[in-house]
Amino acid sequence: MSRRTGSGRLLALACASAAAAAVVSVLIRAPGCGFVATGQATFPAARLQSHGPAPGSRAEGLARRAFGGNRVAYIAVVEAQVKEGQEDAFLEASLENARNSKREDSNQRFDVLQSQTDSSKFALVEIYRAEKGPVDHKASEHYAAWRDAVADMMEVPRSATQWDTIFPSRPS
């Protein structure tokens, strides 16, 4: 599901109706500002489709037509909640990882986000041009250094979800 907000567009949120509730992180793309994290929202859902549009759905059909049947980007959103007092160290390590990641051949974008309402919550938005991009990233020395540096900073294990671009047709 995608809907307009006052300052941007709610990105890649899809859910199926059911009695259970699911908590998802909400990202808004603000014009000229990249991604701005706005925290979490609860939606009734039996499952969340975080790997792109549901197979056979209208959104999947629209995405295939928009991209000529080809994926245009490989996107990962990594969420992390660090221990209190570890925010600056996590941010420093993540910025170093992001700077080095931008030098990777397939990397198109690497955003480091911090929640406005909880300074211990972070999101990393990684966009690659090729399917091999995320694999190459995880094999890099700078990723290994980041992974090892932040391991003991985690309040809870970090999570990563994979996303498909619906709009714009070429992620910037």
Average pLDDT for 121-145: 96
The topology under which CATH files domain 73-163 is Alpha-Beta Plaits (3.30.70)
Return the SS3 of 134. helix
The Cα–Cα gap between 129 and 55 comes to: 22
Residue 14: CA atoms inside 13 Å, Cβ hemisphere, count? 16
DSSP annotation of 32 reads T
The domain spans of the chain are 73-163
pTM (predicted TM-score): 0.61
Burial of 26 (0-12, 13-18, 19+ CB in 10 A): middle
The whole-number pLDDT of residue 63 equals 55
* Digit-coded pLDDT (tens) for 17-68: 333 343 444 444 444 444 444 444 443 333 333 445 556 666 655 555 555 5
Average pLDDT for 150-156: 97
Any residues with CB less than 8 A from the CB of 63 and at least 6 apart, and which? 52, 53, 164, 165, 166
